[in-house]
A and B are shown apart, each in its own frame.
Chain A
């Protein structure tokens, strides 16, 4: 791996860790500030297919399929007095790993893949939810910062073992 790619991998790993920390700390405004205005935030429905037929996710149905406006609506909703699904907020712990920079144009754009393991605990409930999957993220460089312009999260479960997705992936 070239020195440039090593540094890029480090840089995006740190970006993703910081993002995870903002979400786990319930700093949704801080998190939303990382989004590019062109963000497309998607999570397709995972399906069981015959053999190794691919893709093994739906191309026409999603658990999330949000642009900047819809994503902002979710963030705003969490600030209302009626966002019961997150009152009290879930305790989440996002582990981001296997970060791989697939495409990299310095100070311009990048495509980064990573694994996400998300632990979620609600209130006094002794059950916990685990959401795992792979992200393909695209970044654009704006005013000296990398902003997330596309996220495609492919979950590992076809039946999601969580009561809802009032959280971000």
Chain B
């Protein structure tokens, strides 16, 4: 039994985990406040979750041409993702194997080779070390360049999404995504999708899990947090977000599907392309879908939003990463995606609605980050731990899953529930114990 009067940072790792297991009860809807901001939890999370699982790096459409590259980070470590001359996408740790300098410092570009700014070691975008200045003279021709290639990062792709992991022996990406693929298909793979422009990045003094949690199950907040949208006439009513389904799958993933929708919220001319990418069940669902909001564990959220802008209904698709940069700080990275074969007019209007609603200036986004910041401040420090403050996640526990939902996973016939959060935190706790 861990001594509860100790602070977590005074406990051994085993005691801290034991305390976590005693105080966090996802099945009962009890989540302690300290897990949002405690530095010990944050360190364990980094090791046991972000260093082990699959994390999104970006989208294939961001590097469409041979020798295109982009810089991203994986669990806080800079990674170069490059499309080689052979079209293959590879990822490397952005560190020269000679003395460790960052090889690349631009966000994005086109280059077949990367030259280290420190001593000029030159690496091909396949990772191979191909040039060492004055090599024969200073190393006597004995430097084993073949063992000095860039450190490769394990990546996997699905529907254009590029995931990476530091785990040498990861669960196959396919298994990790598992049943959630059905929903990713609808959200990001219903047709050929492309990322437009660079991702937007901004800093929120919030724990990253609040973002994931908000998107995995919380439609309930939209009535109040986003009340302004109803007042502006962009959605029909304050309770518009209640109707539909809440669904979760293994591995903590989950989403919310707003239904029904009398309008087809996507470009009409792409219906055939949609049908060729989706099953009949998926197409039927998307044809009647208002919006889709979800989180792929641990920190990728996806959103297909549908609102009225300038008197016209228009959908926009975005994905976002809640990247931890401290227990109480995250970098939010948001991408806008659009149907590649849509008309220019559709693309323009969809981007316009994204910027208005879910970019850093977005009138949905800005009220969320205000809430995330204050929740984090309230959970910080020793008091919430000492007083054993907890959150209530019991919403919808009286409900039974529906049996007639066409998609995989556990589905509930009402979006207002916390079942997905319980599932998310259950998996989070599993990994913390791994």
Q: Enumerate chain A interface residues (CB-CB to B < 8 A).
A: 43, 45, 47-50, 58, 60-66, 69-70, 73-74, 76-77, 80-85, 122, 125, 127, 158-166
Pick the contact of A61: B336, B356, B370 (CB < 8 A): B336
Given contacts A49-B106, A77-B228, A163-B204, contact A85 B198 (CB under 8 A): no
B227: nearest residue on chain A (CB-CB)?
A: A82
Chain B residues positioned under 8 Å from A161 (CB to CB): 202-203
Beyond the given pairs A48-B107, A61-B200, A81-B227, 4 more chain A to chain B contacts, judged by CB atoms under 8 angstroms and listed by A's residue number, are A47-B108, A73-B363, A158-B201, A166-B366
Pick the contact of B109: A50, A60, A159, A160 (CB < 8 A): A50
Pick the contact of B202: A61, A64, A163 (CB < 8 A): A163
Pick the contact of B360: A48, A81, A158, A164 (CB < 8 A): A164
Which bucket holds chain B's interface residue count? 35 or more
- What are 28 of the A-B contact pairs (CB < 8 Å)? A45-B199, A45-B200, A47-B108, A49-B109, A60-B197, A65-B351, A70-B309, A73-B232, A77-B363, A80-B228, A80-B232, A82-B226, A82-B227, A83-B228, A85-B367, A125-B373, A159-B201, A160-B201, A160-B203, A160-B360, A161-B203, A162-B360, A163-B202, A163-B203, A163-B206, A163-B369, A164-B204, A164-B369
Chain B residues positioned under 8 Å from A63 (CB to CB): 200, 355, 359-361
Chain B residues positioned under 8 Å from A64 (CB to CB): 355, 361
Give min CB distance, B205 to chain A, whole Å. Answer: 6
Give min CB distance, B113 to chain A, whole Å. Answer: 12
B112-145 at interface with A (beta carbon < 8 Å): none
Residue B196, interface by CB 8 Å: yes
Pick the contact of B106: A43, A50, A84 (CB < 8 A): A50
B328-357 at interface with A (beta carbon < 8 Å): 331, 336, 351-352, 355-356
Chain B residues positioned under 8 Å from A49 (CB to CB): 106-109
Chain A residues positioned under 8 Å from B398 (CB to CB): none
Contact present for B366 and A165 (CB under 8 Å): yes
Residue B382, interface by CB 8 Å: no
Q: Enumerate chain B interface residues (CB-CB to A < 8 A).
A: 105-109, 111, 196-206, 224-228, 231-232, 309-310, 331, 336, 351-352, 355-356, 359-363, 365-367, 369-373, 377
Chain A residues positioned under 8 Å from B227 (CB to CB): 80-82
Give min CB distance, A13 to chain B, whole Å. Answer: 27
Chain A residues positioned under 8 Å from B372 (CB to CB): 163
B226: nearest residue on chain A (CB-CB)?
A: A82
A48: nearest residue on chain B (CB-CB)?
A: B107
Chain B residues positioned under 8 Å from A69 (CB to CB): 310
Chain B residues positioned under 8 Å from A70 (CB to CB): 309, 352, 356
CA distance A23 to B228 in the complex (A): 21
